[in-house]
Amino acid sequence: VRAHGKQKEGGEQMKQTISKPFLKAQGARILSELNDLKRTVDSCAEELDWDKAEIQRIILGEAPAERTQSFIKRISTFYPIDSAELTLLEGDCMQGVKFMRVAQSRESARVFDRGNKHGEKTPYYEYRDTAMSCLSAFRPEWIKELRIVNDNNPENPDVAYNNGHFMHQVTFFVGPVNFYYEVNGVKHCVEMMTGDSNYITPFWPHSFTSRSAQDEAYIIAVTFGGDVKRALNELYRYGRERSSSFLINGRNPAQGVQDLLDFHLRNELLTRELLQQKLTRQGHAIDVIDRSATWSLEQLEILATALNIEASDLNVSPYRPDEEVVIQKGADEPGYLFPNMSAPHYHIYPGARCRRMPQVKAFNIHVVPSDRPTDPDLSSALHTYIYNYGQVPVQFAWRFENRIYEDTLHPGDSAYVQPFIAYQFRSDAEQACVFTVAIPGALHPGAQKELSAFASFDRVIEESECWFNA
Ligand SMILES: [Fe+2]
């Protein structure tokens, strides 16, 4: 059974059937969990009172999907494991990509009212969904500003700020949109236009209005979760007090380093006094009792060695107040030609960047008109969201398992592309342009380094062996 369907008329994607490679991967994942539990197929069959031959078929991906699901349920009731973590998501993509057409987006439209200066609730935003996949943490919306203002006063009583939200936000602006935000009780307003973008740190209040009753004014608000979203279930489980023990003072880096030292001391079952004695015994003149001390790189290396961690584990990046909310004006960004000046495919303008979120990459991409052949030339380790904000269609090609697929992104169409799926935009028309935002998945740099150090990579994703030689 092939999981690969065709795009139906109107862009709606056909429902996938469970594919053989998927069942094989699910089977291997189950075997890896049994290995972790130090169970063999024999011992597991006996403990769970499950047919041994069927467990073999499940592990090889040769059993029906329903039987595999029942087995996962059985395993997770018998052994202390989370069935959700053991269950692979086949997902909602076709050949690594998911589209949402402008017509589908329009169908999802809903208008939200907010109070105006007279205290009346009147239409403020029209929201429309754009491409979203269960395989990524994007929740991007097309949002039209329905409240018209005639100034850039951040205290304008017609502007309704929200309370901020848990998701990070990268916003791309189209038309005369005012962007409002409040940081530490101070309100700001910035006049934005097509090609501008921003980044908003979770929970800072913000709002958007239009400066024109005639011109179209909308934003693509790309909200997304990061590592914290992935850890959210743990935070809920621990509750407020215990969860807050994870915090360090990132807005005061000297204090943040002290917080990190406490954090690692605690995990190593040491106190500052015990560490001080150890350092003194070793002949190091470093004061770890005084919480106002700052340490040189060399001293941090000694502290890290004493705690069996890396010096970088005690490192806190400089605090950048201008990265609470980042404003990126398109006019300030000359961009560059990709892949080179002599035969460019794209003029790429990087959007708002926040160094705290180093893998979040927004781009405004202008497609250089040409009749060049299909050849997916863009690819990254990140999950990518694409929105065609221009007036002309863009030809979109991508490579999946050594085959090339093609489709058209019409104005207002959006798409989600999985990591390492190479893709390409083409157009013979002038002014073909898309906005993209890329975000990391669970394989952040820490996980990347841990994985790369394993003695085998193949066995990570295709476990087919018992962990011992019988
Ligand atoms: Fe928002």
pLDDT digits (tens, 9 = 90+) for 436-468: 999 999 988 889 999 999 998 988 887 777 777
pLDDT at 178 over 60: yes
Average model confidence (pLDDT) across the chain: 93
354 Cα–ligand 1 center, Å:
16
Token pair recorded at residue 385: 């969201």
Question: Alpha-carbon distance 146 to 217, whole Å?
Answer: 9
> Is the previous residue joined to 140 through a cis bond, with omega within 30 degrees of 0?
no
Residue 207 has pLDDT above 60, yes or no: yes
Cα 10 to ligand 1 centroid, rounded to whole Å: 30
pLDDT in tens, 361-419: 999 999 999 989 999 999 999 999 999 999 999 999 999 999 999 999 999 999 999 99
Distance 221 CA to ligand 1 centre (A): 7
Q: In this structure, what token pair is assigned to residue 163?
A: 């309370």
In this predicted structure, the answer to whether residue 7 has a pLDDT above a threshold of 80 is no
- Eight-class DSSP state of 18: P
Place of tokens 């050949």: 95
CA 447 to centroid of ligand 1, rounded, Å: 29
Nearest Cα to Cα of residue 416 among 89, 94, 16, 87: 94
Share of the chain above pLDDT 70, in %: 96
Token code pair at residue 148 = 């018209």
CB 376 within 8 A of CB 404: yes
What span, in angstroms and rounded, lies between the C-alpha atoms of 384 and 365? 13
pLDDT tens, position by position, 87-107 = 998 889 999 999 999 999 999
CA–CA distance, 242 with 396 (Å, rounded to integer):
48
Measured in angstroms, how far is the CA atom of residue 224 from the centroid of ligand 1?
10
CA–CA distance, 152 with 149 (Å, rounded to integer): 8
Ligand 1 centroid from CA 300, angstroms: 39
pLDDT number for residue 470: 58
Arithmetic mean of pLDDT, 245-249: 95
User: What does the alpha-carbon distance between residue 447 and residue 444 come to, in Å, rounded to a whole number?
Assistant: 5
Residue 205 Cα to ligand 1 midpoint, Å, equals 8
In this structure, what DSSP letter does residue 148 have? B
CA of 206 to the centre of ligand 1 (A): 7
Q: What number of residues does the chain have?
A: 470
Q: Ligand 1 centre and the CA of 369: distance in Å? A: 34
Residue 17 pLDDT level (bands cut at 50, 70, 90) = low
pLDDT (average), residues 3-29: 63
**454, 458, 461, 462 alpha-carbon torsion, rounded to 10°:** -140
Computed on alpha carbons and rounded to an integer, the radius of gyration of the chain in Å comes to: 26
List the structure tokens of 218.
């909308």
pLDDT band at 121 (very low <50, low <70, confident <90, very high): very high
